[in-house]
Amino acid sequence: MSDPSPTVYLDHAATTPMLPAAIEAMTVHLAEVGNASSLHASGRHARRVVEESRETIAQALGCRPGDVVFTSGGTESDNLALKGIFWARRAVDPRRTRILSTAIEHHAVLDPLMWLAEREPVERADVELLPVDQRGTLDLDALRAAVERDPSTVALISVMWANNEVGTLQPIDEVVAIAAEHRIPVHTDAVQAVGAVPVDFATSGVDALTYTGHKLGGPYGVGALVVRREVEVAALVHGGGQERDIRSGTLDAPAIAGLAAATELAVKQQAEHATRVAQLRDDLVRRVTEVVPDAHLHGHPSERLPGNAHLGFPGCEGDSLLMLLDARGIECSTGSACSAGVPQPSHVLLAMGCSEEEARHSLRFSFGHTSTAADVDAVVAAIGPVVERARSANRKSR
């Protein structure tokens, strides 16, 4: 028997429940047989499912169907964009050894960048992580200076659309404008953004965009790299030549159908969803800071994801707060789900100028399509005693 659902689930930035429309779209095809690369009738049917899903996603994201490359999710898409574009650009021009990014990227970007930076000299990338301000916004002057120092050596710029921890939206338009002056491709990790804020690939001017299904009500294990066909991308996985020969592997037609249904609905309902969850978030921030007066919000006060409330609680350890709330049936996060449980300060908060102690005392509450006012009530009722207990435990441990 599976565990019962939590009383309050406020970790939608880590993953959100599947939408009924996505479950239906996926399950319709689960009992069907057919490899989308096969030429017989069953194969052609699977191919039709994939291509119709590709068209649905393209319409929702403002790109061409041929720009959509299906992957297993955000991490693979980020790796494919960073390594694939870097290798392809450097193969044409060996001088292009530099990749510019930010110090607050998700580890799905930071870790492959560090991997590239540690290669043998012939393959090594010169990675520069640009600073952000105290609100978590990229320093555009630093970006421009880094580019103009020697634009002929820059292979790629990668800046996330929205930060997964503190929710700050990045100035993608300005990043693209700076890059365009020197014809440098721009990649953005938009995993947290699609379905939460308006995202239009063509209008944005970026060359590659990462997104995944399970953040917006689709299934786990499926996502896409949206990349302009004009951009050369070296393959990471070789085999059957699927997906423009840059991502081989048998396509998961049922999951892709679920991804398309979730994407279409999330984008269609984005404005209404953003208004609703922003109201819940603002109510939570206001009421929690009334109960705990020295609690404070991290990130940009207005240019942020609508469902993100990243709060600092001085004198507490975030892990302690998380477990105390969990014991009361309230689920949230200390930041990035991919590093949860690791006793280290948030690299995002450190980059924003917080001390190591300040970078450990935070919780991220993130709202989604199942969130309600009752969830806020539950957090407000619990937060006072939980913070006091966490502070007491912290004092005794010193």
Q: Is the dihedral of CA 296, 298, 304, 308 positive or negative?
A: negative
pLDDT tens digits, 102-151: 999 999 999 999 999 998 777 899 999 999 999 999 999 999 999 999 99
Asked whether the predicted pLDDT for residue 235 surpasses 60, the reply is: yes
Give the separation between CA 181 and CA 15, rounded to whole angstroms.
Answer: 37
Tell me the CATH number of domain 8-16+270-397, given options 3.40.50.620, 3.30.300.90, 3.90.1150.10, 3.30.70.260.
3.90.1150.10
Coil, strand, or helix at residue 120?
A: coil
Q: What's the confidence (pLDDT) of residue 120?
A: 75
Give the separation between CA 56 and CA 305, rounded to whole angstroms.
Answer: 24
Give the separation between CA 363 and CA 245, rounded to whole angstroms.
Answer: 42
pLDDT tens digits, 251-305: 999 999 999 999 999 999 999 999 999 999 999 999 999 999 999 999 999 999 9
What is the number of helices (H) and of strands (E) in the chain?
12, 12
Asked whether the predicted pLDDT for residue 73 surpasses 60, the reply is: yes
Give the separation between CA 42 and CA 86, rounded to whole angstroms.
Answer: 38
Q: Where do runs of H (alpha helix) occur along the chain?
A: 20-30, 41-61, 74-92, 107-117, 140-149, 172-180, 201-204, 253-268, 270-291, 318-327, 347-351, 373-397
Is 338 catalytic? The answer is yes
pLDDT tens digits, 146-163: 999 999 999 999 999 999
Q: What's the confidence (pLDDT) of residue 338?
A: 44
Q: How far is CA 218 from the centre of its chain?
A: 14
| Annotated catalytic residue within 63, 316, 332, 338 | 338
Q: What's the confidence (pLDDT) of residue 333?
A: 95
Give the whole-number percent of the chain exceeding pLDDT 70: 96
Greatest extent of the chain over all pairs of C-alpha atoms, in Å:
70
Give the separation between CA 212 and CA 204, rounded to whole angstroms.
Answer: 18
Token pair 């939608």 in the structure block, residue:
12
Q: What's the confidence (pLDDT) of residue 343?
A: 58
Per-domain residue ranges of the chain = 8-16+270-397, 20-268
Mean pLDDT on 24-50: 95
pLDDT band at 336 (very low <50, low <70, confident <90, very high): very low
Q: What's the confidence (pLDDT) of residue 5?
A: 56
Token pair 């590093």 in the structure block, residue:
339
pLDDT tens digits, 173-229: 999 999 999 999 999 999 999 999 999 999 999 999 999 999 999 999 999 999 999
Please name the amino acid found at residue 19: L
Coil, strand, or helix at residue 221?
A: coil
Asked whether the predicted pLDDT for residue 1 surpasses 90, the reply is: no
Q: What is the CATH number of domain 20-268?
A: 3.40.640.10
